[in-house]
C-alpha cells in the first residue's frame, strides 16, 4: 500500500507531514509533527467512505495517536495471517 504525500516538510531531524490513502470503503490519514508535543499533532485517522448503498447513511471515524496506531499495527502483523501465536 503506497501512501501518497499530501504535504511534507523536512529540516534536519524535524519532519512534518500529512499522508493519505483511500480505498473503496475507507480513507486513511496520518499526520505527523515530530517536533510537536501537542495533543492531536501526531494522529492516524480511519474514516469510512461515503457509500453508494442507500441503506448505509452514516459515516464513522476513528482517530488514534501514532503510538496507539503502532500497537494496532503490531497486533495486525501478529494475527492477520491467521496464526494464533501469543506475543506482546
Question: pTM to 2 decimals?
Answer: 0.66
What pLDDT sits at residue 20? Answer: 96
CA max distance for the chain: 50
pLDDT in tens, the chain (88 residues): 444 444 555 556 667 889 999 998 899 999 988 777 777 789 999 999 877 665 566 779 999 999 999 999 999 999 988 876 655 5
Which pLDDT score, from 0 to 100, does residue 17 have? 86
The pLDDT score that the predictor gives to residue 70 is: 94
Element (H, E) at 70: helix 66-79
Task: Round to whole Å and give the CA distance between 40 and 5.
Answer: 19
Q: 45 is written with which cell numbers?
A: 485517522
Amino acid at each position: 500500500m503506497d501512501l501518497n504525500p499530501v504535504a511534507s516538510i523536512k529540516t534536519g531531524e524535524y519532519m512534518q507531514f500529512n499522508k493519505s490513502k483511500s480505498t473503496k470503503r475507507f480513507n486513511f490519514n496520518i499526520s505527523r509533527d515530530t517536533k510537536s508535543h501537542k495533543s492531536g499533532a501526531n494522529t492516524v485517522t480511519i474514516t469510512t467512505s461515503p457509500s453508494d448503498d442507500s441503506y448505509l447513511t452514516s459515516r464513522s471515524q476513528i482517530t488514534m495517536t501514532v503510538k496507539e496506531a503502532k500497537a494496532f499495527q503490531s497486533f495486525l502483523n501478529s494475527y492477520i495471517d491467521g496464526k494464533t501465536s501469543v506475543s506482546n
